[in-house]
Every structure is written in C-alpha cells, then in structure tokens.
Structure 1
Amino acid sequence: MPVQPVAFVTSPGGRAAVVGGGVRVVAPAEEAVAVAAELERGAAERPVRFVWWAAATDAHLLVAHGIPVSRCWDVAEAHRLLRGGWEATPQQAWAVAHGLDPAGVPEARRGDLFDFDAADDGPAPGSVVRPDGHLAAEAGTAQWAPDDEALVAWALAALECARLQQERLAEVGDRAVGAAHSESAAALLCVELARDGLPLDRATAESLIAAAAGPRPADEDEARRTRARRDAAVLRHVPGRESTDLRNPAQVKELLAAVGVDVPNTRKGVLEPYRGTHAVVEALLEWRKAERIATTYGYGWLDAHVGPDDRLRGTWTACDGAAGRMTAQNGLHNLPTELRPAVAAHPGHVLVRADLGQIEPRVLAVVSGDRAFADATRADDLYAPVASRLGVERSVAKVAVLAAMYGQRSGAAGEALKGLERAYPVAMSFLDEAYAAGVRRRPLRTFGGRLLRLDEVLVGAPPQDAAGWDAARGRFARNAVIQGSAAELFKAWAATVRATTRDLGARIVLCLHDELLVHVPEEHAAEAVARVERALTDSARRWAQPSAVRFVADTSVVRRWSEAKG
C-alpha cells in the first residue's frame, strides 16, 4: 500500500495544520495533534509519512505529546543532503527544489527605513508563494501571523517541496531518498533526545566534581581560594615561577621551556609524550582535567542543565553542516570520561550500550567497492586479516589504515601505506581521488548522497599559504567522504533502534559518534540487546547493499556508562 504524505506544520500563534491523506485541518495545537495521532494510529492500514519544514520547529508538538511518529520527511534535512552545508530555511529549500537561484531568496522585512521590498512583491492573500516563485520571506518566521488559509498553503508548500526534493534526490542516486528518510528520522530523534534527556545520578556527579574541582564554594572568595590550591599543586614543581598564570598558554609554554620542555603549543596531545620528562608536565596534565571540570562541567553546569528529574538536557542537531554528524550541546557530546560514572540508569532500568566496531574502515570497504578489503570485514577484528595480508604486526596495520583515511603519510604510517596501496588498490585509489577533489575544490558526495561543498572549506587563504591550505582541504575531503558516510549508517541504525525498541519502553538517550545508549526497563534488557544488534544487521544491509561488508557492535548491559568497556 502506498505511503500517503501528510503535512504537519505549525504557526507562532499556537495553531497547526494537518493536510494530506484525505485530511485538511487547521486547529489549535492540541486539536491538530489529536488528528495527527489518529492518522499515526491508523498507519498499519493506511501508512502515512509526516512532512514538515524542520523537526525542531514543527515536530516538537507531536514529540511533547508522545506521538510515536513512524515515518517522516524533514525538508531541512533533505535540503542539507542536496545542497550541503548547514543553512536550510524553508525559503532556501524551496528555491533549490524548484531550481530557483538561491541568491534570489527574499529577506524578511525588518520594519525600519532600510526595507526596500515593495508590498506588491509579496504573495497574494491566502498564498505563501510570491509572484517571482520564491516563498514569502516572512513565512515560517517568529513574526509571521498567518490566517487559516495561509497556514493550509504553508502545509501544501511543504508537501510540494518534499515531492520535488524526492525527485531531485532520486536523480542523485538510488540511496539518496533512503538517506533522506533516515536523516529525517534522526532529526525527529533529536527532538526526542532533547525531551527525554540523559539520566544522571546527581549525587555521584556532585562527588566527582568535588573530587576534581573541590567542594561547592560558598562564594567567589572561596572559589578563588580553591583555584589557587589547584594551581599550587602544579607550581610547587617549579620554584620561583609561582606567579605563572596557568590559564595563559604563552606563560605555560615559557614555564615548560624553563625546565627543558620545548613544545610548539600546550595542547594535551603535544604534552603527553613529555609526562616522564619533568614532574610539572604530569601535574599540568592532571590540572587541565580538573580545570575543565571546574570551569565547564562544574556546579554551575550541573545546576543549569540537569533538571529536577535528574536528566541532562541540551539541544541536538542531526547534521553538523560539514560531513553530517549528529551534535549536541551542554556537554552531551563531550562529557569528560571522569564524569561518566554519573551517567546512570534510573531505578528499574538499565542502559544498553552499543558501540560500532571499526566503523570507518568498514565504511571504506563499502564506499570504495574494494572486494579484497571487504573480505577483511568478515573478521570481528578487521585489522587482523589486514595485518596478515601485509605481513606486519596488527598495530602497524591499524596505523596504516587510519593514516590512509586521515591523510598521514610520514613516518611508520607512510611505510605501511605502501603495503596498503599494493594490497588494496581500489580502496586507496578511492581515498586518493577524494584528496584530489579537495585540492581542486570539486564537490563530492557521500555514499548516501550528501553534498560536500569543498569550495567552502578553508577558503580565504593568503596566496603564500594556498598550497598548504589546498593540502589541508584534500585531507579534509579524504576523511569527510568516509566520516560522512559512516554518519549516515549510524543514523540509519539509530532510527531503526528507535522504531524497533519503543514497544519495550526503551528510549535512546545518547548518540555519541558511533555509540548508542538506550534506557530500557530492566526486565526487557535481553530483548533490547537482541533488537539493537538486529537493527544493525538490517540497517547495514539496506545501507550497504549490494556490498557484503560486515558491521559489528560491542553491546552490553550496564547500570552506569563507565561500566562499559572501551
């Protein structure tokens, strides 16, 4: 049975329109949600796909009311696939879908002397399309006040835009429409993630912060004294330099040089090899961890972002505007490892943690079509058969594969790469072609069809630095085409997990690069694990077809995130 597209769009005035599938309703939000819920309940007999301009603006009503939307089309996410980058207003998406010049997208009136847009350039009453074919600039903005007829027109425009996007994505390739479906589902998941939050044990979080940054200060004077004690633990190793400001990189670099540690900068990765050179290096690295928790993930962070229900919340996005990875705010994507013990299942629940294994090299095997490299993915540990084929240690093989994808060609990695080029010429040629496209600023597309606008990456280099920037752009392209494709598979997997575990009372609470955390009632833990693993098999088969590449995940049941291996 064909899937019926149904638009669900909202207006700033608290009204929503449901249009499609034999329904045309404009009503206050509560009533419109009830209509949409009835359509979703009947989807088994009459399947529907909800269409909206962007989940963040239109789907939040359905998410807030707990409507488990099964299928959706997000115009903004489809536009990001087609056009690349981050900007995806309805006006831009409409222009691209209709083949209009995006540069001609009208700007909304500002209500001041610099408004030059004549009134007769706007749409006719009850319409949202201007005479020049563009969408009205005010449509969908916070200042827009549509009547019922205009809100229906807004819904019909979303349906038309989605239809044209599907046609254009089909022209990109067979996988692009499927990618739009999973990207849309990921955008909806982002709204749900923001609603549900990440479960946190507040008492444990407080104790971990106290261990790293000291007890909660009563006032700013006490906070200053705590900072001074933290600094003193470092500066005691360098008598005579107690006045050094450890928060000033230039002063820290000078301090290190005074004890014989000459480094180009004071980043953690640069300092790590010098841990045994002088005691101050070890102390400084420990100070950095404590300082990060104190300043970024301290008591203020806990108070601001963890709700009374002990959930850490922040805004999520399905696409970072570059290669297409999911992102989150308020520490959800870069929580220090030291605080992971505080991420804990609530009573009666557990966390199912699943982490994709060696995903980027496995994705390389798919997107390059290298059959020999695909054979290596049949092993649980891909690097073992690669090492055997190259006649090197596993550690060397791993360095070589990662270097190939990240563009490192010097040292031991460079020697190992020569072996890779002989053993897996198809995969290596694919990466070399991506590099060449980056140097020449030619656009690329990921496996699922996302446009990578390399003409917009690292632009504006001074003429004397152009060659270096071109090389950096090539390295970016080399990795982005793999990383972006891996992000597509991850989101397809997450969307499948979302759909197939909901009846268990399970909720995805974290999507971290290649890792999922699912909060599930304890009695359903074993079934949730089975479904998470089955979801990977099913989504990978759909995404990678006709490739025989095998994807694996390390899945475990834990009560605290820190209990998971890896």
Structure 2
Amino acid sequence: MADQQAGRPSAPALVALVVGTTEAYAAGPGLDEPWPLAEVASHVARLVESVNPRWVVWSAGNGLRGVVAAGVEVPRTWDLAEAHRLLHGGWWATPGHVVAGCRGLPAREVPLPRRGLQAGFEADLFDVAGPGSDDLFTATGQLRADALEGWASTTARLAALAHLALECQREQDESMRRTAGPTAERLIRTVWSESAAAVLCLELERDGLPVDRDAAEDLIGAAAGPRPQDDADAARIRRHRDQAVLRHAPGRERTDLRNPAQVRDLLSSVGVDVPSTRAWLLEPYRHTHPLVDALLTWRKDERIATTYGYRWLDEHVGADDRLRGAWTACDGAAGRMTAQHGLHNLPAPLRPAVCATPGHAFVRADLGQVEPRVLAVVSGDRAFAEATRSDDLYAPVAAKLGVERPVAKVAVLAAMYGQRSGAAGEALEDLERAYPVAMSLLDRAYADGMARRPLRTFGGRLIPFEAPVARAGPATTQEQDAAGSAPSGIRSDGAADAARGRYARNAIIQGSAAELFKAWAATVRHEVRPLGGQIVLCLHDELLVHVPMARADEARRTVAEALARASQTWAGTDQVRFVAETSVIRRWSEAKE
C-alpha cells in the first residue's frame, strides 16, 4: 500500500469493497472474502469500529449506497471515480475510465456502460469481451463495459474486481506523487475530501431536507393559485394568472406569455423595445410601465407553478416531509456539488417552507468573500493575504488603492472574472500595482486558457482544454468537458480564445474554492455527528446543519471552528483567514442575505 511503503505506518489500512448482483466482496490486509448482501452494512460497521480502514470503492454510489442507507457511518474512503476526475479532468469516471487512466489506455476507446448505449452511443466490436466470457478485459486491454453490472455475478469475478480496485488505488496514488511532486500530499488530501463529499452525497439523498409541507402548500398557492381539481380547473387558474399581466395591455389579451416573440410584441405595444425578454434586460424598465413589473412578477410565479408547484411537492417531498433528490460530488467543470429536484435552485419565495423539525434547529453557515480569499492562497501573494485578516477583505484593499470600498470590490471581482472595461478596468490597473503576485497568477491562467494549456486547481483538479476525441456517435460528456470546459468549445477565433482565457482565470479560483468547501463540509460532517447533527444542504458556499435545539449553540461554534481547521489544513498556512457567517435559525428564510 502506498502510504505504508512510504514509511507512514499510521496510515489506515486499505480495504476494497465491491458490491455485485448477489453478494459483495472485501479485500485488504488479512481480509479476502465474500459477504452476503444482507450482511454488508454490519460487516462494514464492525470494521469501522475495530480498525477504521480507508474503504476503496469504484464509486461511493456503487460500493457504499446500501451501507449508508442502513445508517452506517463511513468516515474514510478512497473513491476511485473522484480520484480519476481529479487526475484526468472531466466528469466521466466509469470503472472503465479509471482502469484506462491507470494503465495509460486511450479514453476514447473505453467500452461504454449500458446507460451510455441507451443514450444513443454506438458500441463497437471491442465493447464486450464476448458473451459468457470470464475475461475481465477486452482484446484491447480495456475493462469490459459490464464489469460491475451483469458480469459481477460470481465470487471469483467479484474478487477480481476488488483486487483490481486496490491495484488502481495504488496506481492513482503513485501517479499523484509523480504528477504533483512536492504538492502530492495536497492532491491526496483532496482525494480524501472529494471521496468524503461523495459519501456525504449519499447521506444527503438518504436523509433529505426538512420541509414544512403546510407552509409549502400555502406558498405555492400564493404564487400559482389554488391546487387545481382537474385539467380544466388548471387551465382556468393559468388564464387568471396570465390576466394579471395582460390587463395592462387592452386588446392584447390573446398574447401567449410563454412565447418570447409574442411577449416582445406585447412589450413593444406599450413602448418597451428590448432585444430579448430576459429578466435582466427588462429589470431597468420595471417602473416605466406597469406591464413590465407585472410580467417580471408573473415569471417568478410561473416558475413556481410549472417547476416547483403542487406536482413537485407531491413527487419529491416524501411522507416524512423531507425533500430528496440525487446529489453529485463534482459537476465536472468547477468541481462543485450539485443536486436535483430544487435542492440547489429552490426559488427564494419557497425558502420559508424549509423548516427544522420540532425540537431541532438549523445552523446556517455561509462562507464570506471566499473566492478572493482563495485567490490569496492560490497565488501566495503575501500582501493580499494580509487583507484577508479583516472580516471585510474589501476594506483594506480599498484603503491600499485609495478608492471607495464598492470600487475595490468591483476591481477584485473583475480581476477574477476577466472584466476590463469601464470603472473595473481603471481600478484593475491600481490593483495590479498593489498586488502583482495575485494578479500575475490570474494573467498566467488567462494566457494558458487562450493557448489551450491544461491547468490544475490548488487542490490538483485538472482543467483540460483539448479538442474532443473521435468516437462513433455523439460526443460523450467527458469529451464535451475536455473541449467545452470553456464557453468557446473548440473554436479558434479571437473572441473564443478570449472567452476561454476568462474562463480559465476564474476556473482555477472557483474550482479551488469548491475544494475548500468540500474539505470544510467533510470536517463538519464528522464533528457535528456527536452532537446529533447532520448536514442537510450544501449550496455552493453555504452549509445547513440540522441539529437538536439543545445543542444548536454548540454546533454553531463547532461549524465555525471546523472552518478554521479545515482551511488551514487545505491552504497549508494560517496566513490567509477564511470567515463564515453562522447563525441558528428555524426556517431557511430567517438567514441574513
């Protein structure tokens, strides 16, 4: 094992766990045995209690879903899929991609799993090893596409997959040490926190977000109208909702508000001429004519009615009043956690419905000015790091530049997002003189993006800019990620190159911030458990922890202290200070924005 070979006897043992169709298999020091599916959770709990190994899994979803569903805490993991995404970039990380990455095989030749074929990809002759074959690999050396599906049906086959998982873990560890050199330990710590985040995703899916169903019903009713009795009633309610807009344009009552072209004509009829009907374009006209204000209000209500209405409530909020959806630990580009069914984009008017259960409270914690503080870490700019000692980073920056705080804020954000026009451009020149190390890092990232040179975040995640590889059928998500991480795709004109450069300078900061957030979340997940607490929502830079009311103040302190420890470990320094606004609340809407 890599850690033991490197002379670190305190490193936890590595135990591979593979779950098949009829049984599971575990392999590690002194352990090489099948487990009945019904006993996997109890075996894992016993080993966690006795030796607390680091579980090696092809993915948390494959190896640990049933264990987490049974309520077993899994504190240490090495998720091969998440490690692959860090090393090689992109989102696709099937077992086949993991093996190809470890063995230096072409990613474009990885046999596609069944779901890929169902999505419209064309299989080739080498996608399977042959009907009924015991071979784990195809003729080209790739892992067979159905390895963890139908093929994993015997003890011997599961054992082969478990030992292959350990082999891949060793190769990933060694590859990280070769690739990252002096920062290898940082990259390996990132694997640990990304793996913990993958397990946290399973816990979030299992436990859900507490919802006050009655409040949700009332809030939906306020926006969408009463719950319809049938289709005819739904159409009547819809017409009534539309009338709140159309009454401001007599004679245009037949306008379809869901048709952008017709809405533009409607706006033009009252003297509002806009190139499109996007909300940000309409907002400046809100007070020029009552129709615009009514239209913008209608849009918010329509979103609730169509996306977060009664059907959403009935389908996704369970009988236990918990909102559930699938979670992923990495979105493939910036590395952020994502979720479905409104968990990541619930409209603000519905937030009062997110309510702690009786006898409990939420500890809400929101990272403050996280990206500029991450810039201080990633760049190693000592002068900029000094500004992070303040609760409000922009105040000392403003003082150093001799400008008002709003101007300093615009300048810092413009530097990270690549804006150089207007007031931001003027302030940037002063910023570059005051903080040359931080600004030169962003400029190098911009140049690398322009030139399609791959980048790595502070934690080591690869951000590739290659053209897509050829393969029969439509491009895979991995291929799209490689070519289209930046908004320019694979075009090679000046505007596209500049867009890719702007993307690159922000991606190294946003991606690094996502890694810090997950390191913090992993620490909080572990430390609030003795208090009866659990994370119920991860939203970009915000954590929501559900905890017994009697332990809420203690949990709030724990969350804040966890940030100090996690950020110092992640950054490798205490010179950059990270801050979070923490509060104890009953409803999500009580949080200060």
TM-score range, shorter chain: over 0.9
Match of 1:150 among 157, 166, 180: 157
Partner of 1:105: 110
Letter in 2 for 1:280: L
Alignment of 1:330-341 (within 5 A): 330-341=341-352
Measure the CA separation in 2 of the matches of 1:116 and 1:82. 29
**Residue 555 in structure 1 maps to residue 582 in structure 2:** yes
Alignment of 1:261-300 (within 5 A): 261-300=272-311
Partner of 1:256: 267
Measure the CA separation in 1 of the matches of 2:489 and 2:375. 31
Partner of 2:92: 87
Partner of 2:125: 116
**Residue 543 in structure 1 maps to residue 570 in structure 2:** yes
**Residue 491 in structure 1 maps to residue 518 in structure 2:** yes
Letter in 1 for 2:518: K
Give the 3-state SS of the residue equivalent to 1:454 in structure 2: coil
Match of 2:142 among 127, 130, 134: 134
Match of 1:436 among 431, 447, 450: 447
Match of 1:55 among 52, 60, 72: 60
**Residue 39 in structure 1 maps to residue 47 in structure 2:** yes
Letter in 2 for 1:343: V
Q: Residues 28-61 of structure 1, C-alpha deviation per residue, up to 9 Å, x if partnerless?
A: 2122322211110113xxx410110011121101
Measure the CA separation in 2 of the matches of 1:120 and 1:365. 51
Measure the CA separation in 2 of the matches of 1:426 and 1:183. 29
The TM-score normalised by the length of structure 2 is 0.90
Partner of 2:71: 66
Match of 2:398 among 373, 387, 390: 387
Give the 3-state SS of the residue equivalent to 2:250 in structure 1: coil
Contact 1:122/1:136 (8 A) holds in 2: no
Per mean C-alpha deviation after superposition, the further-off stretch among 399-408 and 192-201 is 399-408
Partner of 2:338: 327
Give the 3-state SS of the residue equivalent to 1:19 in structure 2: strand
TM-aligned CA deviation for residue 117 of structure 1:
4.2
With over 3 angstroms needed to count, the CA separation of the structure-2 counterparts of 1:413 and 1:115, relative to structure 1, is: closer
Q: Residues 479-530 of structure 1, C-alpha deviation per residue, up to 9 Å, x if partnerless?
A: 1111000000000000000011111111100000000000011111111111
Measure the CA separation in 2 of the matches of 1:56 and 1:539. 25
Q: Residues 176-229 of structure 1, C-alpha deviation per residue, up to 9 Å, x if partnerless?
A: 111000000000100110000000000000000001110101011111111111
Match of 1:359 among 370, 376, 387: 370
With over 3 angstroms needed to count, the CA separation of the structure-2 counterparts of 1:391 and 1:118, relative to structure 1, is: closer
With over 3 angstroms needed to count, the CA separation of the structure-2 counterparts of 1:51 and 1:145, relative to structure 1, is: closer
Measure the CA separation in 2 of the matches of 1:258 and 1:394. 42
Measure the CA separation in 1 of the matches of 2:281 and 2:47. 57
Match of 2:509 among 482, 486, 505: 482
Contact 1:17/1:152 (8 A) holds in 2: yes
TM-aligned CA deviation for residue 10 of structure 1:
0.5
With over 3 angstroms needed to count, the CA separation of the structure-2 counterparts of 1:339 and 1:51, relative to structure 1, is: same
Measure the CA separation in 1 of the matches of 2:12 and 2:266. 66
Measure the CA separation in 1 of the matches of 2:511 and 2:490. 25
**Residue 520 in structure 1 maps to residue 547 in structure 2:** yes
Measure the CA separation in 2 of the matches of 1:527 and 1:476. 40
Partner of 1:25: 33
Contact 1:493/1:540 (8 A) holds in 2: yes
Give the 3-state SS of the residue equivalent to 2:229 in structure 1: coil
Partner of 2:14: 5
Contact 1:124/1:130 (8 A) holds in 2: no
Q: Residues 341-391 of structure 1, C-alpha deviation per residue, up to 9 Å, x if partnerless?
A: 000000111001000000011001111111111110000000111111111
Per mean C-alpha deviation after superposition, the further-off stretch among 69-78 and 229-238 is 229-238
Letter in 1 for 2:73: P
TM-aligned CA deviation for residue 100 of structure 1:
2.2
Partner of 1:186: 197
Measure the CA separation in 2 of the matches of 1:190 and 1:431. 32
Contact 1:77/1:183 (8 A) holds in 2: yes
Q: Residues 119-177 of structure 1, C-alpha deviation per residue, up to 9 Å, x if partnerless?
A: 8779984x634565432332013x33421011011111111111111111223233111
Letter in 2 for 1:190: C
Letter in 2 for 1:253: R
Contact 2:127/2:144 (8 A) holds in 1: no
Match of 1:303 among 276, 289, 314: 314
Contact 1:245/1:252 (8 A) holds in 2: yes
Measure the CA separation in 2 of the matches of 1:357 and 1:190. 23
Partner of 2:537: 510
Contact 1:26/1:32 (8 A) holds in 2: no
Give the 3-state SS of the residue equivalent to 2:43 in structure 1: helix
Number of residue pairs matched? 557
Match of 1:418 among 429, 443, 448: 429
The TM-score normalised by the length of structure 1 is 0.95
Task: Give structure 2 stretches of 5+ with no counterpart.
Answer: 1-9, 467-482
Measure the CA separation in 2 of the matches of 1:119 and 1:500. 45
Contact 1:199/1:343 (8 A) holds in 2: yes
Match of 1:16 among 9, 16, 24: 24
Alignment of 1:234-249 (within 5 A): 234-249=245-260
After superposition, the CA RMSD in angstroms is 2.0
TM-aligned CA deviation for residue 461 of structure 1:
6.0
**Residue 232 in structure 1 maps to residue 232 in structure 2:** no
Letter in 1 for 2:389: R
Partner of 2:3: none
TM-aligned CA deviation for residue 240 of structure 1:
2.3
Contact 2:126/2:140 (8 A) holds in 1: no
With over 3 angstroms needed to count, the CA separation of the structure-2 counterparts of 1:322 and 1:155, relative to structure 1, is: same
Letter in 2 for 1:471: A
With over 3 angstroms needed to count, the CA separation of the structure-2 counterparts of 1:108 and 1:182, relative to structure 1, is: closer
Contact 2:129/2:136 (8 A) holds in 1: no
